[in-house]
Every structure is written in structure tokens, then in C-alpha cells.
Amino acid sequence: MTDPASHWHRRRRRAYLTAVITCAALGLGPRALQAQPAPSSPVLSAIQQLSLARAFAPTLVFHPDEVYFPTSSMPSSAADTAIDGWSSRLDLYRALSAQEKRNRAALAYRVFSRVRDGDVEVVVEYWCYYAYNLFSLRGGWLPYRISDNHPHDLERLYLVLRPTGSAGWDAGADESWARESFQIQSVVANAHDGTIPPNQYAAPDGRAVATPVTVLVERGSHAMAPDINRDGRFTPGIDSTSASKLQWGIRDRGSTWRWYRPSFMDGRGTFAVRLCGPSRPVDTDTAACSHYSLYPADGLQRWFQDLQLSASDRREVLGQTPWLVRTFGDVRVENLMVPADPANGRVLDQMLRRRSGTETGFVAGFTTVDHTPTLVVGRRSFWEVPARHAPDVLAEAFALVPTKGRTLFEATVWGSYRLDAITNVVVGFGWYSESGSVSGSLGLEVRIGRLRIRPAFRFSDGGFDSRVMTTF
């Protein structure tokens, strides 16, 4: 059989040699090759995409007291042109028995290939849509409790595959072909939005991840994490290879502490609810595993677009994020039922660099200077340091424009150390035009949705201010 990886690289080498010969004939140097377009990734047929989605469908393991399971965003028939409002659909779902909810379990899928660092990879993406998110976040160092209840919940799971060399791209289009041609290279499971990184596992030394992948699901909020050793618990270093300073894992009680503890979750033992892929055989190991169905995500997107809902109908169907949540939170319920992003891996890449992406950007906010209301504008850049116990680096340049008096400038470099999911201690130094000198500084930055509240103290002159900012 044809090796898909070698076949792809042979095509790239042929294209490169052709470009070399062409450039030589035209008298052009090697730099002309830099203008050559990058090769496009192979296109998978709809049957191949379905085969890959079925072959690598994960086993989802839920808390025994979970009341919401993944279901289809669409009505029972995609041909239906009418759809009820979110509140009515939620009431109908809540009225179902536990077994009826499991019988209706469904995941949307999409599969695409892309070239990363010169190599071809195939991404199998699953959308787990839930009718409701029922969860509360509990503070670590600060004893707070924030309700995170809202209609609609969408969690994404990515399985990144690499070619095995056992079969070609066109060698077949069934599940046997899919399992022979590809193996799982990494698993990326969404936890929560904001700055919380996903739970991810990468197979070491090129070894494959055993199938089906077992995925733990958090009670109420449905955050996911791989369970590589299948012991029913999330274990940092075993079920996750990420060196992130905050590993969310599974936190059934909503604790936001940076340090993960086994007590954060309840074990998924005998009474856990298991949902298996549609082609998983029911044997002695999976007798208690209900099967979910799969439906194409692009079909879901087309169906929703074809409804051509008015603005008021969209609010009725999707709901609307309350103004308080829009101001302070990360969730936008309008985007959860039917995501509009294309199948190109952009959301996956954003998820993997979630913290640096949310910490970097232009800044606007308010503070006071000599008891005068002051506008703060500027920019900040963030670099996540791989070492788990080393602080990350944050650089800022701000202009402070008071309602009375002259404009002030400051430039600071901070070491940012994470205490919990929303709080960072920042220690650094900066130049302040108000005093015309360099000073060390100490602060505490608390992130509440899109807002950051930071009280800070300057050592040299004893200056203190507290500012509220947002990054965009």
C-alpha cells in the first residue's frame, strides 16, 4: 500500500525540484523559491470524514448526578423550518427521563486536514452541545462564589491525527481504513473560556494514544479532560502533558485554585454515566455504555443559515447574554448553539494560546491621579514562560490622561505569578514620568470577565493607585 506521509513528501519534493529547475532556467537565485506558494493539504471526502469521526469517536464519562448530556442543536428532522425558543426547548429537555436524555445523546463532528510545520495532520473535531450550563465558580484565596448558569453550552474536543503509512489517502473510506491510516497524536479538550488553558495530552516519542479515547466530563459545566490511564480520575502528568501553570483538569465543585488537587473532582467509578461512539461494540466492557449519534457540523451550520431568522427570532431561539454578563463575563450564549467558524483549525490554535491571546492587546481603563479621574490608554504584551514555577513576563506602556493637569506616561515590565484562575501577583519595575525615575512595583491583578482590577504600590515614592482596565 502507499504510504500517505511519504506520498505527500514526494509530491512536495517534486514541486521543489520543479521550482529549482525553473529558477535556474530563468537565471533566478534560491531566494526566488521563497515566493513559491505553500502546498495545500489533501482534501478528505465526506465519506472519509464520517469514517474518521466514527473510528476515533471518544467515550465520554459523566458524573453520576449529571442532568444535561450532549444533544443535537437541530430538531429531530433537519428539514424542519420551524424551531422553538430556547426556553421551550430547555423545558422539554428537562422533562425527559435520564434514559431518554441518554438515548438522544449526539455530537456534531467535522474533519479537516492541514499542513503544520511542513507535515500533514488530520484534525477530528467534536462539538458537545448541552441545553444548559449549571455551575458555580468558587474562589481560592478570596472566598467568593460566582454563578455561571446560562442556556446553551458548547465544549469542543480535538483529536489530532498523523498518517501511519499503512494506507493511502485514496485507499479506502471506511472505519478500518481510518484506523489503519491514522493514529492519534494529541488530544485537546476544552475546559473553560477566558484565560484557562485546555486540557491536553500529546503522545510521547511518537507513540499512539489508545482508542477509544476516554474523556472525563465535569459536572454541570461539562469541561473535558482526557483520562489516558482510564482510572476515572484526572491526574496531572499522566492525563495531561501540558506544562501550563494552571491545569484545570476536572473540578466538579468549581474551585479556582491554581494548584490541582485530586479532591477537586469526584471519581468516575461504577455509577458514572458513559456515552460511547456509534460504532463501539457492546461487550462486557461497554455493556453500561449508551451510544451517542454523530451528525455533521457543516450540516448544522447550513440548516441554521437557511432558517433566515429575523433579529427578534434569533433572540428567541438563541437567547441573549444579559448586559452584566456581557460587561464582566466571557460567555456569549448567542454563539454557543450554532458556532459560525469554518473548519480550518483557527479555534484550536486560539485555544492553545488562549492566555497569551487574552493578555495581549490594547488597553483602556480608568484610575485617579491626585484624586482626579484619569483615563488610562496603552498597550500590553504577554509572554508565557514554559517553566511551571517561573513567573510569566508582562510588558506595558500607558498614557494617563487626567481630567485636570498634564498627561503622564509610564512603561513597566512585570513578572506575573498566577494564584488562581482569575488572580495574578505582579512584581516588576518601570519608568514613571510623574517622578521622572525608575521604581520597583508590586501589584495584584484580578480578572473578572473582560475587566481587570489592579491595585499597585511603587516602592520608591510610596505611590499607590488602583485601576480598572479592559484589553481588546
pLDDT of 77 reads 58
Spatial CA neighbour of 218 closest among 283, 133, 149, 290: 133
Q: Quick one: CA torsion of 217, 222, 225, 227, rounded to 10 degrees?
A: 0
Q: For residues 53-73, b (16+ Cβ closer than 10 Å) or e, as one string? A: bbbbbbbbbbbeebbbbbbbb
Instruction: Judge contact between 159 and 123, C-beta under 8 A.
Output: yes
What integer pLDDT is reported at residue 388 of this predicted model? 79
Beta partners for residue 368, in sequence order: 373
**Which one, of 382, 385, 330, lies nearest residue 361 by Cα?**
382
Q: Give CA separation, 129 vs 25, 97, 132, 403, 470, in Å.
A: 57, 18, 9, 48, 29
| Residue 431 C-alpha from the chain's centroid | 36
For residue 49, the model assigns a pLDDT of 96
Residue pair 129/304 in contact (Cβ under 8 Å)? The answer is no
pLDDT at 19: 43
> Residue ranges of the chain with pLDDT lower than 70?
1-40, 76-82, 167, 281-287, 323-330
Q: Residue 284's pLDDT is what? A: 42
CATH class of 356-471: mainly beta
Pairing of strands 106-116, 293-296: parallel
Identify which of 322, 351, 317, 355 has the alpha carbon closest to the alpha carbon of residue 336. 317
In this prediction the pTM is 0.86
Cell of 365: 481603563
Per-residue confidence (pLDDT) for residue 32, from 0 to 100: 45
C-alpha to C-alpha distance for 365 and 343, rounded to whole angstroms: 36
∠ Cα 358 86 332 (to 5°): 10
List Cβ neighbours of 20 (8 Å cut-off, separation of 6 or more): 33
User: Are the beta carbons of 163 and 4 closer than 8 angstroms?
Assistant: yes
Percentages (nearest 5) of helix, strand, coil residues in the chain: 25, 35, 40
282-291 burial, b at 16+ Cβ within 10 Å, e below that, comes to eeeebeebbb
Cell matching residue 372: 482626579
Task: Give buried/exposed letters for 75-99 (b at 16+ CB in 10 A, else e).
Answer: eeeeeeeebeebeebbeebeeeeee
pLDDT for 76 equals 66
What local confidence, expressed as pLDDT, does residue 181 receive? 92
Average model confidence (pLDDT) for the chain? 86
Spatial strand order of the sheet with 150-163 comes to: 199-202, 182-189, 150-163, 119-133, 106-116, 293-296
Predicted pLDDT at 341: 94
pLDDT of residue 139: 77
